[in-house]
């Protein structure tokens, strides 16, 4: 199918097949549930993410990602979707998806892409990139759940490198302060992103992608299914992968505050026998074969993927840069 045809099919199936199923489930168990809990239940109940996958050199198909086992066994939902898609769908069970949690890495000066970094109350995540903020100041980009503590932080809070889990101590390891974050909502999120202003006395190498090469800015074209990508993260270091789906909607991710759903997400599987990411890689910048930024890693699961090592999810970098007013350093 053409890309435009898959987009139209995705919207049709979401509104005519998936949404009615969710509403039926919720109506059957909604007695006594307040409105805010209903919104949370709707995000958690959906359990189907729809996007676009590669079907051939110049051909695309519907990507169907199942997050609840019951939906793939006896519900009839997958059969309905396959019938509506005339069999042109890439269906995968991916299980539950979690925000990436931490492992360890050390103190590094100058700060590098891939270093351990975090809000002083958060364990640890990854420094994705060093960019210019709205006022021209140098900022470090990562996830909201890494730098802004899932919206519990305040502008001006201390950011540590390495993160607290890796031995970072405030103020000895303070490298900057939280400057802006995109608020996380129960549903319809595009990004999990935040930036912190880097302290004037902190040295930074904004271009080195250790083990990959030199960062070549941001890609001018959207990433496509089948594209080869890489990242440097604080836990798994350099890994390589293949984009398995784009424009995935209704991806439900488990956070400390509960399940949140995301739209227009990128899905990646690792190449070879390794996973593309693991806990603590949250915030990693994903780059294409030309070493240009295309995505911001924020979540992953241990189900799915052709090598059985799970799948990784990333925000489209265009959304991240646009919402935070960022520019790449020259």
Is the C-alpha dihedral spanning 293, 235, 124, 214 positive or negative? negative
Task: Pick 316 or 77 by higher pLDDT.
Answer: 316
pLDDT at 320 over 90: yes
Q: How far is CA 30 from CA 19, 102, 216, in A?
A: 16, 36, 51
Whether pTM exceeds 0.95: no
pLDDT at position 74:
61
DSSP 165: G
pLDDT band for position 285 (50/70/90)? very high
pLDDT in tens, 262-272: 999 999 999 98
pLDDT in tens, 77-93: 888 999 999 999 999 98
Sequence-ordered list of residues with C-beta below 8 angstroms from that of 68, at least 6 positions apart, any chain? 47
pLDDT in tens, 88-145: 999 998 888 888 755 457 899 999 999 999 999 999 999 999 999 999 999 999 999 9
Domains in the chain, start-ordered, CATH in brackets? 1-93 (no CATH), 111-205 (2.40.10.10)
pLDDT at position 276:
96
pLDDT at position 33:
40
Whether 226 and 107 have beta carbons less than 8 Å apart is answered as: no
Q: How far is CA 160 from CA 114, 119, 130, 178, 318, in A?
A: 14, 6, 15, 10, 26
């Amino acid at each position: 199918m053409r890309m435009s045809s898959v987009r139209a099919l995705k919207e049709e199936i979401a509104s005519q097949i998936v949404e009615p199923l969710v509403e039926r489930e919720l109506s059957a168990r909604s007695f006594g549930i307040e409105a805010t809990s209903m919104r949370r239940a709707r995000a958690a109940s959906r359990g189907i993410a729809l996007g676009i996958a590669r079907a051939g050199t110049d051909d695309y198909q519907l990507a169907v990602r199942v997050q609840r086992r019951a939906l793939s066994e006896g519900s009839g939902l997958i059969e309905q979707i396959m019938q509506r898609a005339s069999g042109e769908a890439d269906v995968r069970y991916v299980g539950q998806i979690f925000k990436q949690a931490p492992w360890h890495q050390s103190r590094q000066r100058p700060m590098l892409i891939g270093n351990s970094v975090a809000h002083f109350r958060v364990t640890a995540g990854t420094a994705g990139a060093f960019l210019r903020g709205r006022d021209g100041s140098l900022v470090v980009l990562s996830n909201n759940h890494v730098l802004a503590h899932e919206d519990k932080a305040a502008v001006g809070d201390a950011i540590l490198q390495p993160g607290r889990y890796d031995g970072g101590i405030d103020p000895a390891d303070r490298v900057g302060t939280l400057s802006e974050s995109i608020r996380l909502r129960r549903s319809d999120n595009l990004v999990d992103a935040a930036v912190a202003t880097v302290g004037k006395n902190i040295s930074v190498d904004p271009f080195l992608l250790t083990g990959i090469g030199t960062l070549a800015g941001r890609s001018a074209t959207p990433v496509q299914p089948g594209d080869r990508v890489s990242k440097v993260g604080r836990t798994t270091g350099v890994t390589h992968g293949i984009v398995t789906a784009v424009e995935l909607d209704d991806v439900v991710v488990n956070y400390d505050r509960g399940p949140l759903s995301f739209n227009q997400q990128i899905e990646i599987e690792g190449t070879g026998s390794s996973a593309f990411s693991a806990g603590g890689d949250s915030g990693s910048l994903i780059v294409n074969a030309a070493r240009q930024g295309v995505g911001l890693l924020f979540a992953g699961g241990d189900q799915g993927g052709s090598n059985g090592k799970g799948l990784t999810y990333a925000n489209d970098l265009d959304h991240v840069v646009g919402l935070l007013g960022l520019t790449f350093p020259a």
